[in-house]
Amino acid sequence: MRAAVLRTTGDDKIELVDDVEVTDPGPGEVTIEIAATGVCHSDLSGMTGVIPQPTPAVLGHEGAGVISRVGEGVTSVAEGDHVIVAWSPPCGVCKNCTGRRSPHLCTEIQFGRSLMPRFSQGGNPVFGFAGAGTFVEATTLPAEAAVKIPDDVPFEVASLIGCGVTTGVGAAINTAKVEPGSSVVVFGCGGVGIAAIQGARISGASEIVAVDLQDAKLELARQFGATHGVKPDELDALKAELTGDGFDYAFEAIGLPVTMRAAYDAVRRGGTACIIGVGATDKEVSFNAFELFFAEKNLQGSYYGSADVRSDFGRLIRMWQHGRLDLDGMITRRIGLEDINEALDDMRAGTGIRSVISFAG
Ligand SMILES: NC(=O)c1ccc[n+]([C@@H]2O[C@H](COP(=O)([O-])OP(=O)(O)OC[C@H]3O[C@@H](n4cnc5c(N)ncnc54)[C@H](O)[C@@H]3O)[C@@H](O)[C@H]2O)c1
Ligand SMILES: [Zn+2]
Ligand SMILES: [Zn+2]
């Protein structure tokens, strides 16, 4: 089977191989033939070690496809069903899933059942990235990670919902709960940031300021709902002009301590800075000890868009079906698996929103 494998953390290329095997589905598991898979910055972070990942590993975690086999006891999906891969699905039974908490905080599958190697190459185990592994023709996962979708949703569109779109839109509508008429700034206009901009637009924000280093990204951001676009060093002037005392909400969709701090600084007293970007485990962000109390700002992390994938994937599909959410426009490059390293170079350079790999044909 063809796959893109990260041999060792720190490698700057992923290896294209054609001899990876996927495990048979055990009880409660399914095998999914991947039809399309988007390239998310977290894949790059898995390569650099920003996101810890045992290797060798099949990268990719933003995928959609068709159920090809079901293991014993699986009733939620059947052979032939179209599904989106959820890289961190709720188990349904733990404290987070059943208590007065949120199922999106469940990590029983992500850090439990998903950690076992799902693939092999020459008899040696190969892991799947971030509880998934979708840069491959087929993957075997716990059934909870396969969320059924209607057959008429194109796989390319569906794949984006598997990570970037759910993460970005969800940060705005689920985590921060952006209110109509509010002012919003979004740092980083990749797939996740553009999705956050769309989430803010859907929520009825009045001002949506996109911040990026690339002029082309600022232009693109306007197509998705940004009302303004600026480079980081131009933000303070625009903030003063638009809001006076700061934005109601800021979203960080880059993953750098400096922009996380900038997001905190950009919001008004009582405002919310929502951190979506994934920073390295050895990095810290510091805050003025007096201001933490005085400004009463909310510093809020956002994991997978605080989404319940069982209902939110469908909600996002319906928004797309009725023209409320532009997913087609987010696909800036359609490629084959063999082009994966160029797509990663694009991402390093900050060009394009999402590259989507298609296995069809
Ligand atoms: N919270 C979650 O559950 C979750 C899920 C998916 C992805 N993520 C994270 O979200 C982040 C964004 O992912 P993506 O796929 O959109 O990435 P991306 O690489 O496509 O986009 C990042 C954007 O930030 C811009 N940028 C880089 N440095 C900048 C700076 N200093 N100032 C302003 N702009 C800058 C780039 O030009 C690019 O447009 C990553 O950290 C990723 O790991 C988090
Ligand atoms: Zn992702
Ligand atoms: Zn759970």
pLDDT of residue 114: 76
pLDDT of residue 12: 95
Cβ–ligand 1 contact at 277 (below 6 Å): yes
Q: Identify the structural domains of the chain with CATH numbers, from first to last.
A: 3-162+326-358 (3.90.180.10), 165-303 (3.40.50.720)
The string of DSSP letters for 236-268 reads: HHHHHHHHSS-EEEEEE-S--HHHHHHHHHHEE
Cβ–ligand 1 contact at 276 (below 6 Å): yes
- C-alpha pair distances (Å), 39 with each of 85, 129, 201, 218, 259: 14, 12, 24, 20, 22
- What dihedral do alpha carbons 327, 328, 334, 337 form, nearest 10°? 40
Q: Report whether pLDDT(344) > 90.
A: yes
pLDDT digits (tens, 9 = 90+) for 194-219: 999 999 999 999 999 999 999 999 99
Cβ–ligand 1 contact at 45 (below 6 Å): yes
Residue nearest to atom 7 of ligand 1 (CA): 42
pLDDT of residue 69: 98
Averaged pLDDT for residues 239-260: 98
Residues with CB under 5 A from ligand 2 (ion): 40, 42, 163
Model confidence band, residue 100 (pLDDT cutoffs 50, 70, 90): confident
Model confidence band, residue 41 (pLDDT cutoffs 50, 70, 90): very high
- Answer for the pair 189, 210: CB distance below 8 angstroms, yes or no: yes
Ligand 1 centre distance from Cα of residue 157 (Å): 20
> Which helix (H) or strand (E) covers residue 314, if one does?
helix 309-321
pLDDT of residue 223: 98
- Whose structure tokens read 């003025």? 288
Minimum-distance ligand 1 atom for the alpha carbon of 278: 41
Average pLDDT, the chain: 96
Minimum-distance ligand 1 atom for the alpha carbon of 354: 20
Ligand 1 centre distance from Cα of residue 338 (Å): 24
pLDDT digits (tens, 9 = 90+) for 124-167: 999 999 989 999 999 999 999 999 999 999 999 999 999 999 99
Q: Report whether pLDDT(112) > 90.
A: no
pLDDT digits (tens, 9 = 90+) for 213-243: 999 999 999 999 999 999 999 999 999 999 9
Q: What residues contact 225, with CB distance under 8 A and at least 6 apart?
A: 197, 198, 200, 201, 208
Which of 62, 254, 256 for a ligand 1 pocket mutation test, highest count of atoms within 8 Å of Cβ?
254
pLDDT of residue 111: 87
- Angle, CA of 68, 60 and 280, to the nearest 5°: 150
- Answer for the pair 58, 4: CB distance below 8 angstroms, yes or no: yes
Which of 37, 39, 40, 194 for a ligand 1 pocket mutation test, highest count of atoms within 8 Å of Cβ?
40
Model confidence band, residue 178 (pLDDT cutoffs 50, 70, 90): very high
- Angle, CA of 169, 284 and 87, to the nearest 5°: 40
pLDDT of residue 361: 52
pLDDT digits (tens, 9 = 90+) for 319-343: 999 999 999 999 999 999 999 999 9
What do you get for the CA distance between the two ends of the chain, in Å?
Answer: 15
Q: Report whether pLDDT(110) > 90.
A: no
pLDDT of residue 99: 81
Ligand 2 centre distance from Cα of residue 81 (Å): 23
pLDDT of residue 333: 95
Minimum-distance ligand 1 atom for the alpha carbon of 45: 43
Residue nearest to atom 33 of ligand 1 (CA): 212
Model confidence band, residue 115 (pLDDT cutoffs 50, 70, 90): confident
Cβ–ligand 1 contact at 216 (below 6 Å): no
- Angle, CA of 81, 85 and 53, to the nearest 5°: 150
Ligand 1 centre distance from Cα of residue 99 (Å): 32
Q: Report whether pLDDT(277) > 80.
A: yes
Ligand 1 centre distance from Cα of residue 194 (Å): 10
Identity of the amino acid at 331: I
pLDDT of residue 224: 98
Ligand 3 centre distance from Cα of residue 109 (Å): 8
